[in-house]
Structure 1
Amino acid sequence: MINEIQLIEQINQGDTAAFRQLLELHHRKVIHICLSFVNDPHDAEDIAQEVFIEMFRSLKNFRKDASVSTWLYRLSVNKSLDFIRQSKRQKRGSGKVGLMEKTDLERLSISNWQMPSDSMEEDDKKKLLYMAIEQLPERQKKAIILSQIKELKQQEVAEIMETTIASVESLLVRAKRKLKETLIRHKEEFI
C-alpha cells in the first residue's frame, strides 16, 4: 500500500511524479463527490481540477495526523458549494433553471422518447428529489449528500464537515423532515 504521508513529503520536495501518483489515487473519489453536488460531469471535472490545485498549494500545511481522503472530501465539498453559490449569483434574476434541475431536464428531454414509462417515472422521482435537496440549507444539504447519496459513515461525514456525529445526526433528521415536507407538498400540488 502506498504511504500517502511519504508521497506528500516527496511532493513538498518537488517530486512531480509523487503528485501525479497522489492525484491518481484520489481523482475518482473527488470527481464522484463533486458530481453528487453539481450533477454535471463537465462541471465536476472543473471543480475537481480546482480541488487538486488547492491541494497542491496547501500540501505544505497538511497536518500529518489527518486523513488525506477526509481532507480531499472536505475540499471537494467546499469547492462544489462555492461553485453552486457562484452559479446561483450569476443566474439570479435571469429566469434560468437551477443547476441540478437543468441537467436533469436535459437528460430527460433527450431520453424521454427512448425510455419506457416506468423509467421516465423513476427519472421524474429522482429529478424531484434532487430539486428538493437543492432547496435544503447548506449544512443539511452537505450532510444528506455525503450520508445518503455518497453513503459515507456518519463519522466520516462529521470529519468532512468538521463537526460532531451528534450534529450530523441532527442535520440528517432535519434534512429528512424538510425533504419529506417538500415532497408531500409537491405531490399535493399535482393531485
Structure 2
Amino acid sequence: MVTRILDTSGLMDDTADVSTLVAQARAGDRTAFSVLVEQNYDFIHRIAWRWSGNRNDAEDIAQDVCIKLGSAIRQWRGQGALRTWLYQMTLNAARDHMRRYSREKRKAEAYHRELLNDVPVADGSDIDADVGALWAAVKTLPDKTADAVLLVYGEGLNHAHAAEVLDCAEATVSWHIHDAKKRLKRILRAPEGF
C-alpha cells in the first residue's frame, strides 16, 4: 500500500508504506500520526457504526480510538496488519463505551428512584425520557438547591464534599437535597410534567 508521508527532510514521499508511516508516528512525528489517523478514521468509524448502530456513539467511539492511538502507537510491535490492530482497538473501545453507557443509565435510574422514591414510573416508559424530565425539573429549582442535586446526584459527591464545593455546611446540603425531593415530586406529579 502506498501512502504519502513526510520524510525527515519535510518532503512528501509517495513510495513510503504504512510501516514507514507507523515508524515515524512512533518516533513522535505528529504529521505522520495525523496522516495515519486520517487514512484510518473512516475504517474505525465504520466498525464503530456497525457495532453501535448509532451515529453519535460511533463518533464517540472513533474519537476514543484516535485518542488512545496516540499513546498506543508507541507500544505497538507491528505484529500483524495495522488494520487488524485498529479493528481490535475499535471493538475494545466500543465495548468500553457500552459498559460506560450501561453504568450511566443504571446510575440515572437509581438517581431517579432515590430522588422520587414514591413517584411511580409509568410502565413501559422510556427511562431516558424520565431522567431527562427529571433533570429538566431540577433546572427549575432554586440555584443552590439545583447545585446541591447536581453535585450529589449528577457528580456522585457525598454531602460533605458537596458542602465544600458550595461553601456551606453539610447540613445545608442535606436540607437542599430534602427540599429538592419534595419540590421535584410536586413538579413531576403536575399535569404534563410541570
With the shorter chain as reference, the TM-score category is 0.3 to 0.5
TM-score, normalising length from structure 2? 0.47
TM-score, normalising length from structure 1? 0.47
More helix by share: 1
Flag the structure with larger Rg.
2
Relative contact order higher in (CA < 8 Å, ≥ 6 apart): 1
